[in-house]
């Protein structure tokens, strides 16, 4: 019989695994361990995780073997999978870039005409060079792409970059970015039974709540009652702040939730308006 649990494909063991499990735990899903297991059922939500290589995730979701998947955009695009991207997840940030040896004398993309490019991303690489009208020979390599020019296997590479440390260590420099990537929640385009759709809605509400919470902070401050209007003006999201009386008659406590970036922008102005004892706290989740 077909499972009615929501099935989500995630990376078994790699850069995205811990962050993905953290995200799922942060939205309240409990698991009894996941290391060295292929299928893991949540203890408190009707969901099961399929732990596989990231390269297989897009196809598993495309074919409806899994309803959802969490995988880097770079992998989904390289595999050309027909899936729906439903959320960017703000981790696993990287870029797929063209890089050349510093000593190569290559300065522009056109210098790479008729050259050999080593990559684990043959499809994205081919498409990109051809869209730029540059002919290249693609040398497909599954790992350690950065050493290909030194081994004279290739003249340049296309690889993922995050800090840029690997390129630097290998005497390479970035010429152009092909793609900015991050981890994404993807969904099958195959028909999904109604009871699973309901689970997906519930799952997405939790993801939204978590993403909103990550961008927000709970702030508390004390202020003279007469400063309330100025302070409210400084923090636009303070439409209806919580106001609490303090023991001192003309003083109040103001509580609200604001975007994190906004807090750092207005902090000095809040102080100038008379706010004191400003406390900023992380928010676990937010359902609006
Ligand atoms: O075994 P499996 O197939 O599941 O894993 P994998 O080895 O194919 O992938 P993995 O675990 O290395 O990466 C998973 C995903 O993490 C990638 O598909 C990207 O979406 C994302 N990601 C984010 C990265 C990086 N940053 C990254 N820096 N993936 C790889 N790298 C590598 C890059 O290939 C290069 O070797 O790190 C090196 C460069 O890093 P910097 O920091 O030196 O620039
Ligand atoms: Zn992989």
- Nearest residue (by CA) to ligand 1, atom 42, is 163
Question: How far is ligand 1, taken at its centre, from the CA of residue 145, in Å?
Answer: 12
- Nearest residue (by CA) to ligand 1, atom 1, is 53
And the tokens for 93?
């940030």
Q: Which atom of ligand 1 is nearest to the CA of 72?
A: 20
> What mean pLDDT is predicted for residues 220-243?
87
Domains of the chain: 6-92+183-213 (3.40.190.10), 94-181 (3.40.190.10), 216-282 (3.30.70.120)
- As a whole number of angstroms, the distance between CA 215 and CA 52 comes to 30
The region of weakest confidence among 48-52, 231-235, 242-246 is 231-235
CA angle 195–199–201, rounded 5-degree value:
115
pLDDT band at 1 (very low <50, low <70, confident <90, very high): very low
- Nearest residue (by CA) to ligand 1, atom 30, is 160
Could you tell me the end-to-end alpha-carbon distance of the chain, in angstroms, rounded to an integer?
A: 38
And the tokens for 52?
């596989």
Question: How far is ligand 2, taken at its centre, from the CA of residue 30, in Å?
Answer: 26
- Does position 208 have pLDDT exceeding 70, yes or no? yes
DSSP string for the chain: ----SEEEEEESSSTTHHHHHHHHHHTT--BS--TT-SEEEBSSSSEEEEEE-GGGHHHHHHTTSSSEEEEEHHHHHHHT---EEEEE-S-S-EEEEEEEEGGG---SGGGGTTEEEEES-HHHHHHHHHHTT--EEEEE-SS-GGGTTTTTS-SEEEEEESSSHHHHHTTEEEEEEEEEE-EEEEE--S---HHHHHHHHHHHHHHHHHHHHHTEEEEEEEEEGGGHHHHHHH-TT-SS-EEEE-SSTTEEEEEEEEEHHHHHHHHHHHHHTT-EEEEEEE-S----
- Nearest residue (by CA) to ligand 1, atom 29, is 160
pLDDT band at 239 (very low <50, low <70, confident <90, very high): low
- Does position 12 have pLDDT exceeding 70, yes or no? yes
The region of weakest confidence among 62-66, 68-72, 236-240 is 236-240
> What mean pLDDT is predicted for residues 110-130?
98
pLDDT band at 2 (very low <50, low <70, confident <90, very high): low
Percent of the chain clearing pLDDT 70 (strictly above): 98
> What mean pLDDT is predicted for residues 260-279?
93
> Per-residue pLDDT tens for 17-53?
999 999 999 999 999 888 889 999 999 999 999 999 9
Predicted confidence at residue 286, as pLDDT, reads 87
Q: Which atom of ligand 1 is nearest to the CA of 165?
A: 43
Ligand nearest to the CA of 14: 1
pLDDT band at 131 (very low <50, low <70, confident <90, very high): very high
- As a whole number of angstroms, the distance between CA 265 and CA 281 comes to 16
Ligand nearest to the CA of 157: 1
Ligand 1 surroundings by CB, under 6 angstroms = 11, 14-16, 53-55, 72, 74-75, 92, 94, 159-166, 181
pLDDT band at 237 (very low <50, low <70, confident <90, very high): low
Ligand nearest to the CA of 76: 1
Against a cut of 0.95, is the pTM above it? Answer: no
- As a whole number of angstroms, the distance between CA 61 and CA 70 comes to 10
> Per-residue pLDDT tens for 147-160?
999 999 999 999 99
The region of weakest confidence among 90-94, 118-122, 260-264 is 260-264
Question: How far is ligand 1, taken at its centre, from the CA of residue 138, in Å?
Answer: 20
Pocket test for ligand 1, best of 51, 79, 94 (most atoms within 8 A of CB): 94
> What mean pLDDT is predicted for residues 198-203?
96
């Amino acid at each position: 019989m077909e499972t009615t649990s929501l099935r989500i494909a995630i990376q078994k063991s790699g850069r995205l695994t811990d962050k993905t499990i953290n995200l799922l735990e942060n939205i309240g899903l409990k698991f009894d361990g996941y290391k060295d297991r292929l299928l893991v059922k949540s203890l408190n939500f009707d969901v099961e995780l399929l732990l596989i290589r990231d390269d297989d995730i897009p196809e598993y979701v495309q074919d409806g073997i899994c309803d959802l998947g969490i995988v880097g955009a770079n992998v989904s695009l390289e595999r050309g999978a027909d899936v729906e991207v439903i959320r960017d997840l703000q981790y696993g940030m990287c870029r797929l870039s063209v890089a050349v040896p510093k000593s190569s004398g290559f300065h522009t993309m056109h210098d790479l005409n008729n050259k050999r490019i080593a990559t684990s991303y043959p499809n994205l690489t081919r498409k990109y060079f051809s869209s730029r009208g540059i002919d290249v020979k693609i040398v497909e390599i599954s790992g350690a792409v950065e050493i290909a020019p030194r081994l004279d296997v290739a003249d340049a590479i296309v690889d993922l970059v995050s800090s840029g440390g690997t390129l630097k260590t290998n005497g390479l420099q970035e010429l152009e970015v092909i793609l900015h990537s991050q981890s994404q929640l993807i969904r099958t385009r195959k028909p999904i039974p109604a009871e699973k759709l309901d689970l997906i809605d519930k799952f997405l509400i939790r993801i939204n709540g978590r993403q909103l919470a990550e961008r927000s902070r709970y702030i508390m401050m004390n202020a003279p009652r007469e400063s309330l209007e100025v302070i409210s003006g400084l923090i636009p999201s303070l439409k209806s702040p919580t106001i609490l009386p303090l023991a001192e008659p003309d003083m109040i406590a103001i509580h609200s939730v604001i975007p994190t970036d906004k807090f750092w922008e207005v902090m000095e102005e809040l102080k100038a308006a008379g706010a004191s004892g400003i406390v900023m706290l992380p928010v676990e989740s937010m359902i609006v």
